[in-house]
Amino acid sequence: MSRLSDANVSIAKEIIGRYPRPKSALIPLLHLAQEQHGWVSNESMSHIAELVGVTPAEVYGTASFYEMFKFHPVGRYCIDVCTNISCQLLGAWELLEHAERRLGVRAGSTTDDGMFTLEDVECIAACTEAPAIEVNYRYRYRVTPDDFDALIDKLTAGRLGDEVPRFGTLARVRQRTTDRWSGAGTTAQAEVDAR
């Protein structure tokens, strides 16, 4: 039930085809699974293992190294507050404290209604726009407590649907493999591998 859908299996195969070795597609495929279900389950990792030709343990071994993959359901919106140095200097902890109060959860947890997960994260490359946050990896800059409240209100009312997709969806534009794809790298590597 939490295997990849047929449509996503076709996308997965296209992605695998862009790498000289199938295992290189692991991270993109894990993102695809997370996009479909909102998190990464054992079943979807087994399915990815089949598609790539490795064991499920290898898939989990890789996946568990990376912060963005969630192995249990999280909120529809994941709010990441950067508290690293540039943001700390400009009020990130004050903002995080406000966020915890507003959402009624500590950083690292999810609200009871499953709407919001709050995280205290490392630098997100927006240091000149401190304090900076991301909602499902979409940026908000120079956020005041009032801005934060307005954001939560809008998300709760479903008024940012277009701009901020549900957790798990990253880029909504995918690279396509066209007939101009040369395949030279893949072919040349296959020759090296065969030696």
Question: What are 63's two structure tokens?
Answer: 């996946």
User: Closest separation between CB of residue 133 and ligand FES, Å?
Assistant: 9
Other CB atoms within 10 Å distance of the CB of residue 52: 20
Owner of token pair 């996308």: 11
Strand order in the sheet with 77-82: 116-121, 77-82, 133-135
Give yes or no for residue 130 binding ligand FES (CB under 6 A): yes
How many residues of this chain bind ligand FES (CB under 6 A)? 11
Q: Are strands 116-121 and 133-135 parallel, antiparallel or unpaired?
A: unpaired
Interface with ligand FES in residues 63-92 (CB under 6 A): 82, 84-87
Give yes or no for residue 101 binding another protein (CB under 8 A): no
User: Closest separation between CB of residue 167 and another protein, Å?
Assistant: 11
Give the N- to C-terminal CA distance of the chain in Å, as an integer.
40
Amino acid at site 80: D
User: Closest separation between CB of residue 187 and ligand FES, Å?
Assistant: 41
Nearest residue (CB) to another protein, 13 versus 21: 21
Which stretch in 2-10, 109-117, 139-147, 154-162 sits in contact with another protein by CB under 8 A?
139-147
Q: Which does 178 bind (CB under 5 to 8 A by kind): ligand FES, another protein, none?
A: another protein
Distance from C-alpha of 121 to C-alpha of 136, rounded to nearest angstrom: 13
Give yes or no for residue 127 binding ligand FES (CB under 6 A): yes
Structural contact between residues 12 and 4, judged by C-beta atoms closer than 8 angstroms: yes
Interface with another protein in residues 55-74 (CB under 8 A): 61-63, 65-69
Give yes or no for residue 157 binding another protein (CB under 8 A): no
Give yes or no for residue 124 binding another protein (CB under 8 A): yes
What count of residues does the chain have? 195
Which stretch in 19-27, 62-70, 119-127, 174-182 sits in contact with ligand FES by CB under 6 A?
119-127
Distance from C-alpha of 33 to C-alpha of 169, rounded to nearest angstrom: 10
